[in-house]
Structure 1
Amino acid sequence: MKLLEEVKKNSSKWMKTKGYKYQNFYWQDGYAAFSVDLTRMDGLVRYIENQFQHHQEISFQNECRGIYKKYQMPYDERYVWD
């Protein structure tokens, strides 16, 4: 847990050096971790590159709900979102 806290803190500081539009950048309180099959890395890179546009069509929350449902992962809405 301490390592994740350090990653979030340091990456927030770094993001804020990237320009005015990132001055209010922050990570949400919660987090989730998913593994990625290395044979699908190209698709993951495309997903990240197009993430802003993708989330214009489906919210981050609804996308996560779909992943949780697809893989039958239990979760509690009270602890997932800020």
Structure 2
Amino acid sequence: MPQSLSRVYVHVVFSTKYRARYISEAIAPELFSFMAGVCNNLECNPVAVGGYLNHVHILCLLSRKVAQMDLVSKVKSNSSRWAKAKFLELHDIFDWQDGYGIFSVSKSQVDNVTKYINTQAEHHSNMIFEDEFLGLLKKHNIDYDERYIWD
């Protein structure tokens, strides 16, 4: 085939280091917008970027030119550097956890995942991030050792 074609949606999830609650309502909109911009620059068109206090969800269309780990690495490193420069109260304390989860999303589920990301505050009124993340791992049948998930 002379042409390479792709449409792969991914749902990326990661938290702040030690799940510290650094993503306040004052910071969240600019942070999520910045992260969407990083995705755009990588040609990984963002569908939804959101989160709650200590973690982020990104739903994007993965570029066929970008590896999963490169997408996450660039989003995390660029947004961390930007947040530390933009919000002086975060300068010496803000970091992302080392790991992440990335899950495939079928086209038929894009609207549901988008709604899920956009309603994180409601979702976390009765569930902590750790339980949410473990639930995603189980839902996607990902084997894990809980000793190595958290940092």
Relative to the length of structure 1, the TM-score reads 0.70
Q: CA RMSD in A?
A: 2.6
Question: What is the total number of aligned residue pairs between the two structures?
Answer: 80
Matched AA of 1:6: K
The answer to whether the 8 Å contact 1:30/1:79 transfers is no
Relative to the length of structure 2, the TM-score reads 0.43
The residue number in structure 1 matching 2:143 is 74
The answer to whether the 8 Å contact 1:68/1:74 transfers is yes
Task: Render the CA deviation track for 1:26-70: whole Å, top value 9, x for unaligned.
Answer: 321111111111221111111111112212211121122223334
Q: Which moved more, 1:66-75 or 1:35-44?
A: 66-75
Residue 100 of structure 2 aligns to a residue whose secondary structure is coil
Q: Which moved more, 1:25-34 or 1:66-75?
A: 66-75
Distance 2:69 2:138 in 1: 29
Q: Which has the higher helix share?
A: 1
Matched AA of 1:59: I
User: Quick one: which of 102, 109, 117 aligns to 1:40?
Assistant: 109
Residue 33 of structure 1 aligns to a residue whose secondary structure is strand
Distance 1:48 1:71 in 2: 17
- Identical positions, percent: 43
Distance 1:50 1:13 in 2: 27
Consecutive unaligned residues of structure 2, counting only runs of 5 or more, are: 1-67
Consecutive unaligned residues of structure 1, counting only runs of 5 or more, are: none
Distance 1:69 1:33 in 2: 13
